[in-house]
Structure 1
């Protein structure tokens, strides 16, 4: 049953926008036909390092206007465009009044300690709420950041060996060799783009493994690490608006990039989408988002959490969320994307939570297209279906998050 068209909502928080991932949250006071956007996560736009790829590529990478890991001027333009588009969405759904600054405290903006995340959040806030003087709060270092970087905290109680064992159990039949065989087509395509060919370069022969870390999440090495790094850089070249003769040295079309981006969700599968990792790494963000949606949460109508793609992947793993956006592989976290939660209330005051993933298409972001980004409502396993507004009550969602975080 659909709610009234004048329903209002608030974004709460999460991750996505550009290269880093920024979370975004919102919440609304329960009122007649009200809807609030509770949690959404951003990914920002940093230029990425080429570690591990240089020895295989045959030509130099293009020149960037900023150092690796920083937000480019064009990335800031993309964040600002999304800020204006999201503000239009808030206005149309009745969350905010058009052409009026929100009341003090109605918008809360938090970012991780990474400069790109802070800059992305500022670009979004300044475009969404021009002249309103909304500040972006952030810690000064990863070690002070228990929200976006909980595994950087030396006090984090994390068993890296248990996470590694879980990752090893998740490998397909044949182990790492089986995983390489399953993705042999992507490996051959990557070699062609890099100009890596026998006898001088053997990408398919690169060793690969799941690297164990004592107090951190495991990560894939070898050809899969190379594939993730290379494909993300190719994507950023394309989104930066570089000439197609520069993108992948003229050997990478949009379709080629989409196929190579399959390496990124593979990385997430063995580093982020592990129960033992998600509970520790995604728990703080998920708890904040759930509390924001509850009656005892933060008072902000909109809460922007600007973090990283890993933040989105961690929360998605914790709650078993999945998505597919046109021009990207399943479960990819593109620049400028967001994972979010909306809180709805009907005329009787009953409250419901909906999860969504929103992202511009690859071409739309490259062209800074004014077309609104794609938005997909998601199933919340154990709570609600994407197409049924009333299937996941706020109380059930809060309990679901608590159980996921407390699960041994």
Structure 2
């Protein structure tokens, strides 16, 4: 019954029945039961304690389920610790820890663990490869992504669309649109995810018209593929980067009227960004007023960006107030507002905003970026001097400024 409840997504009933079994003391749970209990469990440590108490702590299937569960809850260090303690690791356990690291933003760690698989008597499967490619895309580790592509070519001749889609996504995020298109074109049976991956790659790199052409090709030549919310998000992103206001409005309406897809917060954010960048801020406000869901910081941030571009200080102040209500600890919004006033020469307002931020003790969230040089990934934060070669980096920057 626990498994039956889990199979129909009734996870609360599944967990309640599991606890009832523990209270009654019989029948005792076996190792087949715990993966179903842990799948959507919110109290992993409690279940983990019961697993150890009942003597299933060394069972690979149970350990893998625990790694998955801890990773899903963001407790990735617990997941990694459990993985490190496993006496025998099979492919699912490697998949679980690589996927967990990627899901929790530890992309370089995911790649490091993936590389370790190569030194064991274990052959990565398609799930392992997809997780590793995702990490490569997020960190820009193109050389590792190409190496994985080579591994796929040599060892997975019948690789499914999930791997090919992951390759398209990886190449796209690393800026290799030519390679992404090559893999896309070579995919014999393109799923909706394949089309979405290609559209998003092109949109990400400002290839707006090409992204729209891929979408139109999908509509005209593929009968059994119907666009979804991700397809339209890619299209709207393409319109944002290309400044295609009317096309952006057209695809937003097509999504709702032709395909019955309710806009999500990301779709509204894109549309407001399109209108804001074009200076059509009153229309952007109208869209905000018509939203059926509560605007989040992405939506207000898109409006603020439009105000910054077109010097609308009054509207920028309104947007910043809304943003600070959502995230009081992000001083970046106030600094943007001060910059808008500074651009307009309103220095009294600049001082007023900076004084307000100081009184509220609002910190500025530092930006972060990764760069790969000589097969090594370095992470940088703005105004950061913790890098081991920071002095050399700053000296080169000063020389560049001086000689230019």
TM-score using structure 2 length: 0.20
Please state which structure has a larger fraction of its residues in strand: 1
Determine which structure has greater relative contact order: mean sequence separation of CA pairs < 8 Å that are 6+ residues apart, divided by chain length: 1
